[in-house]
């Protein structure tokens, strides 16, 4: 059997990292659909037998009707491919779930909170899903499988956790399966353990850096081969720039070398111009820069200034004393010093 394993698409998610930029949120949601469509096209090209969707396909609280219809239309394009869905904590199989209120294609199988099983080409495919926003179950531990057959499990679960909220499963309980297709963790865990997280199909924020995509695999005679395939074409990225050696705003702009990713910029080092002039120039760029963090400082010798018998010197000495007593507030205190210097 050849398969695609994906999870945590989170269609119509809030995108909290960029929620203040409505245009970018809209574009990001369109990107989600395009990446999902590309996954369907990949399934056709690779002539897979099955697609495992290990939970959080959409955000039940925010998903729009058009999005559900789009997902269904994509699944209708591949009637020959079996699709197995285990609802997660963001798309649980509750009463008003789109899983219950829409008509899904015949090739789509949606698991509930009791373990279900389908046999495909002599392979037993088990699944268990959320029927509420939290789940605490030991169904997998109790399950007995036919060891003479190849056994696959699909679940949205927290591996070796102890939350009692997000379907905690111990690794030991999964040894009876030849492949475990998991969802819930948004960063890929693809190794030779056969217990696999593909990560989220597309990145959801600055806590999900690096590549995102799916797993494509093949299982035969209990032997599994898998590989991670990048699908997301726009990443969230954090870029740190030391601007000490730049004397002009344009030099800073020229060194950024940004592409189509979504950026958080962190500026460090000694600054030779106002932070507002830097921010204004950067915000004019066509790139997706959603946040600029200023960790720079102007080139002052505060210790020398504090020795001066002037108003500026007395103020600086007092502020350095405060800084010594409150080192955790260094950024705030330095910003205050700079502001006062400018207005003295």
Which pairing describes strands 116-120 and 108-110: parallel, antiparallel, or unpaired? unpaired
Opening angle at CA 24, ends 184 and 285, nearest 5 = 125
Residue linked to tokens 């994906």: 6
Q: Which domains does the chain have, with CATH numbers?
A: 2-230 (3.60.21.10), 236-343 (no CATH)
**pLDDT tens per residue, the chain (344 residues)?**
999 999 999 999 999 999 989 999 999 999 999 999 999 999 999 999 999 999 999 999 999 999 999 999 999 999 999 999 999 999 999 999 999 999 999 999 999 999 999 999 999 999 999 999 999 999 999 999 999 999 999 999 999 988 889 999 999 999 999 999 999 999 999 998 999 999 999 999 999 998 999 999 999 999 999 999 999 999 999 999 999 999 999 999 999 999 989 999 999 999 888 888 999 999 899 889 999 999 888 778 889 999 999 999 999 999 999 999 999 988 788 888 888 887 77
Work out the end-to-end distance of the chain between its first and last CA atoms, rounded to an integer number of angstroms. 75
C-alpha span between 61 and 313 (Å, rounded): 57
At residue 205, φ and ψ (nearest 5 deg) are: 175, -175
Q: How far is CA 334 from CA 93, 101, 265, 295, in A?
A: 52, 57, 20, 10
Q: How far apart are CA 48 and CA 131, in angstroms?
A: 28
Read off the pTM.
0.88
């Amino acid at each position: 059997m050849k398969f695609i394993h994906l999870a945590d698409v989170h269609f119509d998610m809030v995108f909290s990292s960029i929620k203040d930029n409505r245009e970018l949120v809209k574009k990001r949601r369109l990107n989600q659909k395009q990446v999902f469509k590309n996954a369907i096209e990949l399934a056709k090209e690779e002539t897979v037998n099955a697609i495992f969707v290990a939970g959080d396909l959409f955000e039940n609280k925010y998903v729009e009707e058009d999005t559900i219809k789009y997902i269904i239309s994509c699944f209708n394009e591949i009637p020959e491919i079996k699709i197995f869905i285990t609802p997660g904590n963001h798309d649980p199989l509750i009463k008003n779930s789109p899983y219950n209120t829409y008509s899904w294609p015949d090739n789509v199988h949606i698991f509930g909170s009791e373990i279900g099983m389908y046999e495909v080409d002599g392979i037993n495919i088990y699944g268990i899903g959320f029927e509420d926003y939290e789940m605490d179950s030991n169904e997998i531990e109790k399950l007995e499988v036919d060891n003479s057959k190849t056994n696959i499990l699909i679940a949205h679960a927290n591996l070796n956790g102890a939350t009692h909220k997000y379907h905690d499963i111990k690794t030991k309980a999964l040894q009876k399966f030849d492949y475990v297709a998991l969802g819930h963790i948004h960063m890929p865990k693809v190794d030779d353990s056969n217990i696999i997280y593909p990560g989220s199909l597309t990145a959801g924020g600055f806590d999900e850096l690096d590549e995102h995509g799916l797993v494509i695999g093949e299982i035969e005679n209990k032997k599994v081969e898998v590989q991670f395939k990048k699908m997301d074409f726009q990443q969230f990225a954090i870029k740190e720039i030391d601007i000490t050696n730049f004397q002009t705003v344009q030099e800073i702009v020229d060194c950024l070398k940004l592409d189509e990713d979504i950026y958080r910029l962190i500026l460090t080092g000694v600054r030779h111009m106002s932070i507002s002039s830097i921010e204004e120039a950067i915000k004019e760029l066509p790139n997706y820069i959603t946040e600029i963090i200023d960790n720079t400082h102007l080139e002052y010798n505060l210790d020398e200034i504090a020795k001066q018998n002037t108003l500026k010197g007395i103020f600086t000495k007092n502020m350095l004393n405060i800084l010594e007593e409150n080192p955790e507030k260094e950024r705030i205190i330095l910003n205050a010093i700079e502001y006062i210097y400018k207005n003295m």
